[in-house]
Chain A
């Protein structure tokens, strides 16, 4: 394996882990605030559809991003209303959001565009195209660093950089700001926050809304960054892999990034290994590689790789009167 093959695999690792990273960070805000979210998948799908539809209609990637975020945000508000205001079951609410997104995207897509649930093929200026970072030519001749900079670091679209920038930003918000402290507090001990005279409901609402926005960006990346239009069920379980990554990372931003890169890497290798015989092992079933993120997460949950302890008040609606 030479440098260019390795770089190719790593390059697709970055591409494939971006939606996971955005969705997992989205889930981090929500779950740290005590609202479980298994509707990441549905919100991502809704965002992907909204982005592709708006980009096609208005002919602009930015309109797409706005619509993608808008759709996912609206869906997160439904989840917030059900799980915070109406004190409903958060898992059930997540399941319903996944269903509604899966059905509605195809139904509306068929009505509006009449292409069997797809949105129209987008041209390059209706998408987020890849950015060449400054200095690529300058360092091109430096061995190792030159190609790495050109292939791996430069040449992604804007949303990829946004996703990776969100890691330190999220770390800073969650651990270094007053908002982050309150967000973590409502996830661990909402009664204490309430006693301090801070609104538990508002803190949780904000967390879930941030979750919606990031899911929207993740969906937008899928439909108008990575591909050129929306296709039925295009998230294909990525929301659940993101959820697995979030748990695997023990709800910590930096760990989330490494886990998403790992899961993205597994995906990239799986695509590469399709039908290829590995010396000494034989053909590795693609399915095993696809299932690996889930298997790893179960092993982690079993407590064999450290222990994943979720936020204490996660999944429990907060009621003042007891």
Chain B
């Protein structure tokens, strides 16, 4: 039996309860490590939101997660579980780096930027194409193929960085540093309006691009025919078939958009922060995207909120590791895992209990109404 919850429960209370549970368990971990969980929570919140630089970093990380969250969400709307966002983001880096390496010495950043966007989207989408085709044409499980493609991507990127992109004289696996034509300016001026500064945090115009993408995804999914087809496919493939929707086409297009979104994530760290492409730059953002999409209920607004939550976690966790010597940055990974567990896999745990609660309420309300009638 499935109970329809009011919106504020489905999109507010349940995620909140899940989150609280995850943080309680995380608190337990902090306790085991021998620190005070309340102090730890204080350090995290202060680190993430307490000063200009902290907020800057929170939003910088959130930018990555908005892209990967959108990537996962678009695929889920089509009924596909794309856990290859990590690999697609990694490959998207080729597009960004190529655009920057080719153009940074000749034209200003605002001309390089659109090229980098196109490059990132094309390469990210291309990496999603084969799993998409295999799913649509041959029924190969997309979860497995995208996992495989994550590993193939990381092997390919190590090879490319070492044998193609790396300048002779450096030891690290990375491209040369881009000139200003390959660097996106920071959003200092926004923070100065509020009387603070970014204090070195790399928040940049990619954040604006991420917000634009949120709007475009909303437009696509809920306001276009293609979006309708995608959602139909995701809700009921057989209904889609009877409606004459070309399933292969919808699956492939949805995955291409998903891959493009993931690919664009590469712009933020490469062009917006380090001004070079280094080995392993996605740093797990693709997997965080799964959590972000889950928590955000696959809606762009929810994704923005969830991305900021995880951005705060990354930034606050880094500050926490600095303030509490017993705690390392790995606490972020643990909390992330717990949030995915409780908000994702154990999402149903509170539901039966809540369903009973609300069922009684509605029953009482209707019987009261009936009572007034007589």
Taking the complex as formed, is A100 at the interface, i.e. its CB lies under 8 A from any CB of chain B?
Answer: yes
B141 near A294 with CB under 8 A, answer: no
Chain B interface, number of residues (Cβ within 8 angstroms): 48
A111 near B345 with CB under 8 A, answer: no
B345 near A86 with CB under 8 A, answer: yes
Chain A residues in 8 Å Cβ range of B235: none
Taking the closest CB of chain B, its distance from the CB of A123, in whole angstroms, is: 27
A92 near B332 with CB under 8 A, answer: no
A301 near B159 with CB under 8 A, answer: no
CB proximity to A under 8 Å, residues B323-355 = 326-328, 330-338, 340-341, 344-349
Total cross-chain contacts (CB, 8 A): 146
Q: In whole angstroms, what is the CA distance A200 to B338 when docked?
A: 27
- Beyond A103-B331, A298-B145, whether A78 also contacts B341 by CB under 8 A is yes
Q: In whole angstroms, what is the CA distance A62 to B323 when docked?
A: 39
Chain B residues in 8 Å Cβ range of A103: 330-337
B340 near A96 with CB under 8 A, answer: yes
Binding stretch for chain B, among A141-149, A261-269, A274-282, A283-291: A283-291
Of all chain B residues, which has the CB nearest A107? B330
Binding stretch for chain A, among B29-37, B52-60, B265-273: B29-37
Taking the complex as formed, is B152 at the interface, i.e. its CB lies under 8 A from any CB of chain A?
Answer: yes
Of B130, B335, B349, chain A has the most CB atoms within 10 Å of the CB of B349
Taking the complex as formed, is A255 at the interface, i.e. its CB lies under 8 A from any CB of chain B?
Answer: no
CB proximity to B under 8 Å, residues A90-114 = 90-93, 95-104, 106-108, 110-111
Taking the complex as formed, is B305 at the interface, i.e. its CB lies under 8 A from any CB of chain A?
Answer: no
B340 near A92 with CB under 8 A, answer: yes
Q: In whole angstroms, what is the CA distance A95 to B339 when docked?
A: 11
CB proximity to A under 8 Å, residues B64-88 = 81, 83
- Beyond A96-B337, A301-B134, A321-B1, whether A107 also contacts B148 by CB under 8 A is no
Taking the complex as formed, is A168 at the interface, i.e. its CB lies under 8 A from any CB of chain B?
Answer: no
Taking the complex as formed, is A201 at the interface, i.e. its CB lies under 8 A from any CB of chain B?
Answer: no
Chain B residues in 8 Å Cβ range of A88: 344-348
Taking the closest CB of chain B, its distance from the CB of A314, in whole angstroms, is: 9
Taking the complex as formed, is B61 at the interface, i.e. its CB lies under 8 A from any CB of chain A?
Answer: no
Q: In whole angstroms, what is the CA distance A175 to B40 when docked?
A: 52
Taking the complex as formed, is B125 at the interface, i.e. its CB lies under 8 A from any CB of chain A?
Answer: no
Chain A residues in 8 Å Cβ range of B32: 108, 111
A92 near B294 with CB under 8 A, answer: yes
Which of B33, B148, B159, B337 is in CB contact (< 8 Å) with A100? Answer: B337
Taking the complex as formed, is B155 at the interface, i.e. its CB lies under 8 A from any CB of chain A?
Answer: yes
Q: In whole angstroms, what is the CA distance A63 to B328 when docked?
A: 28
30 contacts between A and B (CB under 8 A): A38-B143, A38-B147, A82-B346, A86-B345, A86-B349, A87-B348, A88-B344, A88-B348, A93-B346, A95-B290, A96-B341, A98-B337, A99-B333, A99-B337, A100-B334, A100-B337, A104-B29, A104-B330, A104-B334, A106-B328, A110-B330, A240-B147, A240-B151, A244-B144, A291-B156, A294-B151, A298-B134, A301-B140, A301-B144, A302-B140
